[in-house]
Structure 1
Amino acid sequence: MKGRNIVIIGGNSGIGKSVAELAKESGANMFTYSKSQDDSNSLDVTEDFSEIAGLPEVIDGLVYCPGSINLKPFHRISIADFKSEMELNFFGAVRVLQSSMKNLKKSDHASVVLYSTVAVQTGMGFHSGIASAKGAIEGLVRSLAAEWAPNNIRVNAVAPSLTDTPLAQQLLSTEDKRSASDKRHPLGRIGKPEDIAEATMYLLSEKSSWITGQILPVDGGMSSLK
């Protein structure tokens, strides 16, 4: 990864922060953007934009991290809620990808990593909003992987289960909730940001150079074991 230009959208906390730390340790040139930043790299992905200031001329790796956890029974999810989920998780990714496309095409080995969720392939109650938005991400991954393969741009996604990030604290607010969440996973614990970051680094690196159009489950066995 040394000397490669890596762009991380949402790199100030949680999984994105862990990816940024690992990429920096590997010698990559880091370009991080986040809504919470106060400098020129502040970016609200829910707003309309067609360009991102300060992108490197050549992008070798692009990671889109913004996400949400809004779990409600279906009858309580409004159309506005569904639209909000799509704006952040899906349309934000589309805006970033369209703004970065020409820079990705200038790389000889570009890799794009998006994030899905275990709830897309494993039906879970109260997940209709987020599963719908991330299901759209999975479709986008496969379509773009096919379209961009001639440009040698790989497109993949990581599909985590519950991970111990600031975003998930509402689900882990007590020891009882944390213990119950741990026990739901076959490996006996929820994920750590580093678990997802390591998988992301693999997909960004040349070690995965023959992998594209894939959804990589990193979920403690949740999607395939009982």
Structure 2
Amino acid sequence: MTPTKNILIGGISGGIGSALAKELTRQQNRLFGFARSPERLDALQKELPGIQTEPCDATDPVALAEAFKKAHEAMGSIDVYIHAIGSILIKPAHLTQNQQWQDTLNLNLSSAFYALKEAVARMQRQGQGCLLFYSSTAARIGIANHEAIAASKAGIEALVRSAAASYSNRNIRFNCIAPGLTDTDLAKPITSNPQALEISKKMAPLNAIAQAEDVASLSAWLISDSARFVTGQCVTIDGGLSATVPKPKA
């Protein structure tokens, strides 16, 4: 079967990135992905031998440009770019070191901007394209001790809206997803603590946290032709946390 789309995934070896790779491979797409850890990339390739990968630090614009070049050469085009790169920093502002702030901005926001530049440079020549980024529920509502990560993720939402306006005449779509707490390795500091996990579950009306597969399924729809009239949007997937009033305490 002919691959449906040529898709490049940044952060392909992470929790959401690897779930995406499995879902999009199942749909017969052609995939190229990059991430910082060669070991994790090798492990993913053993599980999904049809994908191609390249080690890359997305905070380095030169290395990122090279990864995009290799992906384009390998697949012939980049129809979709998915930026599944991010971090978690749960710390109040007065305890956040300046370097932690810079690292959070670089990994979450600067890498997204660099990737957007590389993607649109190619997609403009193609006359079409689609980009997907990830924000966070923490950027949509006030959650204590999330100042740095909330600010960096809110920047992604603004980036997506502006780019959607800038490149609409080139038939390029931009969207993002704002997940709540998701059961991935990145969230282990919370999910490995039974008390913290239970509190997190109770914050959402559905009394659960998201699985990476939940986010991957929504992602697959947003980059599909079924969502061809959707651009400039940030879709929240958090079990209703950001859309409802908390239940009164007993």
Residue correspondence of structure 1 range 163-182 to structure 2 within 5 A:
163-182=182-201
CA deviation vs aligned residue, 1:27-72 (integer Å, no higher than 9, x gap): 1000111111268710101223144241224211110011111110
Q: What is the Cα deviation at residue 14 of structure 1?
A: 0.4
Whole-Å separation in 2 of the counterparts to 1:144 and 1:37: 31
Residue number among 95, 115, 138 corresponding to 1:76 in the alignment: 95
Q: Which runs of 5+ in 1 are unaligned?
A: none
Q: Which moved more, 1:190-199 or 1:49-58?
A: 49-58
Runs of 5+ unmatched residues, structure 2: 43-52, 246-250
Which residue number in structure 2 is paired with residue 35 of structure 1?
Answer: 36
CA distance in 2 between counterparts of 1:95 and 1:124 reads 28
Is the contact made by 1:58 and 1:106 (CA closer than 8 Å) also made in structure 2?
Answer: no
Native 8 Å contact 1:65 1:115 kept in 2: yes
1:86-105 to 2 correspondence within 5 Å?
86-105=105-124
Structure 1 window deviating more from structure 2 (157-166 vs 105-114): it is 105-114
User: Mean alpha-carbon deviation: is it higher for 121-130 or for 96-105?
Assistant: 96-105
Verify: 1:144 aligned to 2:163, yes or no: yes
Match of residue 54 from structure 1: 70
Structure 1 pair 193–155 and aligned structure 2 pair: CA distance change class (3 A)? same
Equivalent of 1:197, from 211, 216, 219? Answer: 216
C-alpha RMSD of matched pairs (Å): 1.6
- Structure 2 CA distance, aligned partners of 1:3 and 1:199? 17
Aligned to 2:50: none
Q: Does 1:120 align with 2:121?
A: no
Relative contact order higher in (CA < 8 Å, ≥ 6 apart) = 1
Q: Are the equivalent residues in 2 in contact too, given 1:111–1:203 (CA < 8 A)?
A: no
Q: Distance in 2 between matches of 1:4 and 1:103?
A: 15
Q: CA deviation at 1:155?
A: 0.2
- TM-score normalised to structure 1 length: 0.95
Deviation of the 1:109 alpha carbon: 4.2
* CA–CA separation in structure 2 for the residues paired with 1:63 and 1:105: 17
Which of 1 and 2 has greater Rg? 2
Shift of 1:107: 4.1
Find the counterpart in structure 1 of residue 12 from structure 2.
11
Cα distance in 1, alignment partners of residues 146 and 122 from structure 2: 35
